[in-house]
A and B are shown apart, each in its own frame.
Chain A
């Protein structure tokens, strides 16, 4: 993959983080740590992996993305607005009275396939979409971005059993494995390890990737499925709060709203490291 392409994705990731920081600062209702951990994944998806067209958000031939970790809605909204699905200005209404942009992702926005927020729902919906695509012999793919925390949900594993049994090779689950869930580290709450082995044992073809390495993410999704006849699972090793030093790897920033001096410091760090647009 060319350096220019990697830089393009890096820049998008920077804009997603910057937009999300502003959105959560303006409206509150932050899950900023969870947004930042998957910002690079979302950037790669919307900068080359997903075959989507903002002019035709309901195109039957489009790739589908189900954001099962609906609490990272700010990140998806930012990516979609940046890609032109709706105006960037609309982002600044996030979480505020009368807005379409609820804290947990809403299908009221063009480009959002389904509303989520209750954890453990997305993979089943994505599997249903993939089953329809397979029955129709359609060429599009269905992606599902999950959190590690929602792998506590039995329903996630119901869907995980279903997809390989039905050979849903047009389905790719991407797990944002930042190792910190709602109020504590995953290892303390409910250990998921050996995580990749669990997915393999269920019948998925599994790859692992550094979820902040844009070239690596692109490379891992270049050829899908990973293995013929099987659904693919990409375990993305990530850092919660990635991009702002004082947010990284902290439970605190799962919910905390960046305001005042913290907002300024966060923006400064992002601007220093990424290709951010000017403030709105």
Chain B
């Protein structure tokens, strides 16, 4: 996803001279082409995320479209107050980009895992939140952010779901995409872990259980209408996120459906439950450990449907 983001930004930087990319000393080898072609539009600000966010606000107030770029929590939580006060309160046109969403940096350790960012960033007034599920969404979300005005957060995952773009489909920010149809349950996922939801849906289909799969690229503003349909048309909702279940995608779905007065038959949030991702392992391994991979999703669905789990190992 990182490469998709950099590719689009590099493609648009020449026709959008207002684009500035600030990196917190990350992106070795990845930003080379951008740096070589647009030296005036790239600044490596050093390992100084608070300054990066403040600089971004200042540049944006002078008319630039600023992307701040770093890993995990560094461009978000480390400089949260600058994002809140300097960027959001001033409606500054700054796009905060985090590579390594969720547990992308698996064995590197919890310091590099972003597992509260969706909840925290979406609580900021004026902040839009995007967590693409596949490479097409990552590219299109980037394209959208170059044109949109105001603060936004783009969470990029190391993993990506298999391509889900339909023939002739156009990216619509703010809309949840239906990537599998079904009526027995709905699997709602954000980020690359949507690939696990698709895998689970396909396996369940083999057992005659048909799940709708929703790809949530735009976490905020949330597409309540598509969720309401899922709640009323299917047997229940399972949210899947590589993130704490508190306040993230699952929390956002619960808020919006509760407020809309629409309750699904059942509702399960898969994600981290009041724990840090302290186990060492790859992203794939950790998804299993923390019960958010395809087998865990299948188990959750089958249990709610009152069926004995027949989950392939």
Residues of A participating in the B interface, judged by any CB pair closer than 8 Å: 107, 113-118, 120-121, 123-133, 135-136, 154-155, 158-159, 161-162, 166
> Which of B42-50, B152-160, B198-206 faces chain A?
B42-50
Provide 19 A-B residue pairs closer than 8 Å at the C-beta atoms, listed in order of the A residue.
A114-B61, A120-B50, A121-B85, A123-B54, A124-B50, A124-B51, A124-B57, A124-B58, A126-B58, A128-B58, A128-B59, A129-B59, A129-B61, A130-B58, A136-B62, A154-B50, A159-B51, A159-B55, A162-B48
Closest-by-CB residue of A relative to B53 is A124
- Leading 8 A-B pairs by shortest Cβ distance: A128-B58, A124-B54, A132-B62, A158-B51, A128-B55, A158-B48, A155-B50, A125-B58
In the complex, what distance in Å separates the CA atom of A166 from the CA atom of B46?
12
Q: Is B165 an interface residue (CB 8 A)?
A: no
By CB atoms of chain A within 10 A, which of B58, B61, B63, B85 has the most? B58
Asked if B82 is an interface residue, CB under 8 A from chain A, the answer is yes
Q: Main SS of the interface on chain A?
A: helix
Residues of A contacting B59 with CB < 8 Å?
A: 128-129, 131-132
Q: Which of A121, A124, A135, A161 sits near B40, CB closer than 8 Å?
A: A135
- Give B85 Cβ to nearest chain A Cβ, in Å: 5
Complex Cα distance A241/B223, Å? 54
Tell me the nearest residue of chain B to A123, going by C-beta: B54
- On whether the beta carbons of B85 and A132 are closer than 8 Å, the reply is no
Instruction: For the complex, give the distance between the alpha carbons of A126 and B90 in Å.
Output: 14
| Interface residue? B89 (CB, 8 A) | yes
Contact A125 B43 (CB under 8 A): no
What is the distance, in angstroms, from B212's C-beta to the closest C-beta of chain A? Answer: 44
1/0 per residue, CB under 8 A from A, across B12-52: the answer is 00000000000000000000000000001001011010110
Report whether A125 and B54 are in contact in the complex, using a CB–CB cutoff of 8 Å.
yes
Partner of B82, one of A124, A133, A136, A161: A124
Instruction: Determine if B86 is an interface residue (Cβ-Cβ < 8 Å).
Output: yes
Partner of B46, one of A127, A136, A162: A162
Tell me the nearest residue of chain A to B58, going by C-beta: A128
B64 interface hit (Cβ, 8 Å):
yes
Across the interface, A133 reaches (CB within 8 A) one of B62, B86, B90, namely: B62
A159-B51, A162-B46 are known contacts. Are A128 and B81 too (CB-CB below 8 A)?
Answer: no
Complex CA distance for A131 and B50, rounded to whole angstroms: 16
Give me the interface of B with A, judged by CB distance under 8 Å.
40, 43, 45-46, 48, 50-51, 53-64, 81-82, 85-86, 89-90
In the bound complex, residues from chain B placing their C-beta under 8 Å from that of A162 are: 45-46, 48, 51, 55
CA distance A118 to B54 in the complex (A): 12
Q: How far is the CA of A158 from the CA of B55 in the complex (A)?
A: 11
Give Cα distance in the complex from A120 to B45, angstroms.
17
Q: Cβ of B57: which chain A residues have Cβ within 8 Å of it?
A: 114, 124-125, 128
Interface contact A114-B86, CB-CB below 8 Å: yes
When the two chains form their complex, are residues A115 and B51 in contact, meaning their CB atoms are under 8 A apart? Answer: no
> Is there contact, CB below 8 Å, between B89 and A115?
yes
Q: Are A161 and B46 in contact (CB under 8 A)?
A: yes
Q: Smallest CB–CB gap between B56 and chain A, Å?
A: 6
A125-B86 contact, Cβ under 8 Å, with A155-B51, A162-B48, A162-B51: yes
A135 surroundings in chain B (CB, below 8 A): 40
Q: What separation, in Å, do the CA atoms of A125 and B52 have in the docked complex? A: 9
Q: Kindly list chain A residues whose C-beta atoms are within 8 Å of the C-beta of B81.
A: 118, 121
Least CB separation from B62: chain A residue: A132
Tell me whether A131 and B43 are in contact in the complex, defined as CB-CB below 8 angstroms, given that A121-B82, A124-B82, A154-B50 are known contacts. Answer: yes
Which residues in B have their C-beta under 8 angstroms from that of A114? Answer: 57, 61, 86, 90
Q: Which of B58, B60, B61, B64 contacts A127 (CB 8 A)?
A: B58
On whether the beta carbons of A125 and B61 are closer than 8 Å, the reply is yes
Find chain B residues with CB under 8 A from A121 CB: 54, 81-82, 85-86
Instruction: Give bound CA distance, A84 to B56, whole Å.
Output: 30
**Chain B residues near A154 (CB, 8 Å)?**
50
Q: Knowing that A114-B61, A120-B50, A129-B59 are A-B contacts, what are 6 other residue pairs whose CB atoms are under 8 Å apart, sorted by A's residue number?
A: A115-B89, A124-B82, A127-B55, A135-B40, A155-B54, A162-B51
Given contacts A162-B48, A162-B51, is CB(A129)–CB(B58) below 8 Å?
A: yes
Q: How far is the CA of A115 from the CA of B85 in the complex (A)?
A: 8
A155: nearest residue on chain B (CB-CB)?
Answer: B50
Cα-based distance from A216 to B266 in the complex (angstroms): 73
**CB within 8 Å for A155 and B82 given contacts A124-B55, A126-B58, A127-B51:** yes
Cα separation A107 to B87 with both chains bound (whole Å): 13
CA distance A166 to B51 in the complex (A): 13
Query: Who on chain B is nearest to A114 by CB?
Result: B90
Chain A residues with CB under 8 A of B50: 120, 124, 154-155, 158
Q: Which residues of A contact B63 (CB under 8 A)?
A: 132
Residues in B with CB closer than 8 Å to A155 are 50-51, 54, 82
Residue of B nearest to A70 (CB): B85
Contacts of B43 in A (CB 8 A): 131, 166
Question: Which residue among A125, A130, A159 has the maximum number of chain B CB atoms within 10 Å of its CB?
Answer: A125
Q: How far is the CB of B269 from chain A (nearest CB, A)?
A: 33
